[in-house]
């Protein structure tokens, strides 16, 4: 009857049963069914009331709370948030396991309706239960810590920050002035060169991998943890065992194929550029229309070659793959490719050709802020780079990207890294940029940088 949409008749039947039922568990279940009939009748007030009646009598409220989160995500996000708030207290594990589609609907609903308070409250709950799903666990912890700092709850923000595992996520916190009050304690937690947290992550990653060596995600996490500690040979051994022939590469999907990309980065980090190139090239040979996501690895292949100053080969790849790159690239990726082409042409001394791309670069500047700034500096258009950087630093959606571009997090080691560090330093030297950056961020302290 409920499925048929006959909400009114269903409610009358449930009400009759409620007059007969005396067991608390039965009463709770009937009120939950009544809440479903309220949804069918589009009766928001009754839905709230029946939710409260269910929870008031339920001997074990957790399953009912989960149901109201799931129903509310579709029908009444405010009720869903209230139910999730209680669920996070009575059964954290159940809250942690909620379907990511449910959480995604709630986040989207509050964001689209500009309900900032509710969006932030939801994010704090996700951080508190260490939720992982629609967002990475680190992303949730960082967002939670940001909200807590804004609300003046620095002790709780520090607790959330200490749960962040990735080096990149910790760097974001340790360079963002919004977190300045917790920097000293967090620096002590992560240790010199951030090795304390990196070693702890390695232990966890190794344990997870040993439990299930066939799970690609566990292998990927262990490789990242090893890379953070400069354990290149160990990370290489893990990476080279995957995708050793075309059939094995074809078995990888959009989620698992990143292990090949990471392995290529590991090889490049120890200057084994030819092997890194071969690794990505073999994966790219499996590129078909239904594997369009390989465009990401193709772009990274160009980036690795550019980073090794192999400009001729990188440019040749851009030209030979132009049709597929254009077809499968997002607006962000297309701007990245424009920036790469400028960088490569300048590296080859073909400045006029590079300058010809500038109008398109400016037109699409907002599609990839960091790539745009870098390309403008290669073109010696420092004033344009300054104008855009200052504008984006005042935009909450873009400021973090510009800060990431401007800050120093490791000392440059390769020739290409030194070139790019000099370009960034040139922009940082402009007084307006220096002042704006200092107000919002800092460089990573030398004591926390990796030892190269």
Out of 109-113, 130-134, 165-169, 314-318, pick the least confident.
130-134
Residue 5 has pLDDT above 70, yes or no: no
Query: 3-state SS string over 350-402?
Result: CHHHHHHCHHHHHHCHHHCHHHHHHHHHHCCCHHHHHHHHHHHHCCCCCHHHH
With beta carbons less than 8 A apart as the criterion, state whether 377 and 427 touch. yes
Q: How much is the pLDDT for 136?
A: 82
Residue found by looking up tokens 């977190």 in the block: 179
**Rounded (to 5) percent helix, strand, coil in the chain:** 75, 0, 25
Mean pLDDT of the chain: 93
pLDDT band, residue 11 (cuts 50/70/90): confident
pLDDT band, residue 452 (cuts 50/70/90): low
Residue 436 has pLDDT above 50, yes or no: yes
Residue 1 has pLDDT above 60, yes or no: no
Residue found by looking up tokens 């800092």 in the block: 442
103-125 burial: b if 16+ Cβ within 10 Å, else e: bebbbebbeeeebeebbbbbbbb
pLDDT band, residue 9 (cuts 50/70/90): confident
- What pTM value is reported for the model? 0.86
pLDDT band, residue 2 (cuts 50/70/90): very low
Q: Give the tens place of pLDDT for each residue, 339-356.
A: 999 999 999 999 999 999
- How much of the chain, in percent, has pLDDT values that exceed 90? 80
Q: Give the tens place of pLDDT for each residue, 206-251.
A: 999 999 999 999 999 999 999 999 999 999 999 999 999 999 999 9
With beta carbons less than 8 A apart as the criterion, state whether 176 and 409 touch. no
- The distance in angstroms from the start CA to the end CA of the chain is 68
Q: How much is the pLDDT for 308?
A: 95
Q: Which tokens go with 378? A: 């290669």
Radius of gyration of the chain (CA): 26
């Amino acid at each position: 009857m409920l499925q048929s949409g006959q909400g009114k008749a269903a409610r009358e039947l449930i009400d009759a049963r409620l007059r007969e039922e005396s067991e608390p568990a039965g009463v709770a279940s009937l009120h939950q069914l009544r809440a479903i009939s309220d949804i069918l009748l589009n009766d928001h007030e009754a839905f709230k009331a029946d939710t409260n009646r269910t929870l008031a009598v339920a001997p074990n409220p957790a399953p009912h709370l989960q149901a109201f989160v799931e129903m509310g995500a579709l029908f009444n996000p405010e009720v869903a948030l209230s139910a999730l708030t209680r669920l996070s207290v009575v059964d954290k594990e159940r809250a942690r396991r909620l379907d990511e589609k449910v959480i995604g609907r709630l986040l989207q609903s509050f964001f689209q309706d500009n309900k900032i308070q509710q969006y932030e409250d939801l994010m704090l709950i996700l951080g508190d239960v260490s939720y992982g799903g629609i967002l990475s666990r680190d992303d949730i912890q960082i967002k939670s810590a940001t909200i807590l700092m804004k609300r003046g709850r620095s002790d709780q923000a520090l607790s959330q920050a200490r749960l962040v595992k990735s080096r990149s996520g910790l760097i974001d916190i340790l360079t963002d002035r919004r977190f300045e009050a917790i920097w000293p304690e967090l620096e002590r937690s992560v240790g010199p060169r951030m090795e304390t947290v990196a070693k702890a992550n390695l232990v966890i990653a190794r344990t997870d991998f040993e439990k299930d060596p066939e799970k690609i995600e566990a292998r990927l996490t262990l490789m990242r943890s090893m890379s953070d500690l400069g354990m290149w040979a160990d990370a290489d051994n893990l990476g080279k065992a995957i995708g050793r022939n075309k059939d094995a590469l074809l078995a990888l999907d959009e989620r698992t194929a990143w292990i090949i990309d990471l392995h290529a980065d590991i090889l490049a980090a120890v200057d084994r550029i030819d092997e890194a190139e071969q690794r990505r090239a073999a994966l790219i040979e499996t590129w078909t229309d239904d594997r369009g996501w390989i465009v990401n690895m193709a772009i990274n292949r160009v980036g690795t070659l550019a980073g090794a100053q192999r400009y001729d080969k990188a440019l040749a790849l851009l030209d030979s793959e132009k049709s597929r790159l254009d077809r499968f690239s997002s607006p962000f990726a297309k701007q990245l490719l424009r920036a790469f082409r400028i960088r490569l042409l300048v590296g080859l001394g073909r400045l006029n050709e590079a300058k010809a791309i500038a109008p398109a670069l400016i037109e699409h500047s907002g599609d990839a802020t960091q790539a745009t700034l870098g390309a403008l500096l290669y073109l010696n258009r420092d004033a344009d780079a300054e104008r855009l950087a200052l504008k984006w630093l005042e935009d909450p959606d873009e400021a973090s990207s510009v800060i990431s571009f401007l800050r120093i997090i490791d000392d440059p080691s390769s020739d290409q890294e030194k070139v790019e560090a000099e370009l960034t330093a040139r922009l940082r030297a402009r007084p307006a940029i220096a002042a704006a950056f200092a107000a919002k961020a800092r460089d990573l302290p030398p004591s926390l940088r990796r030892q190269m």
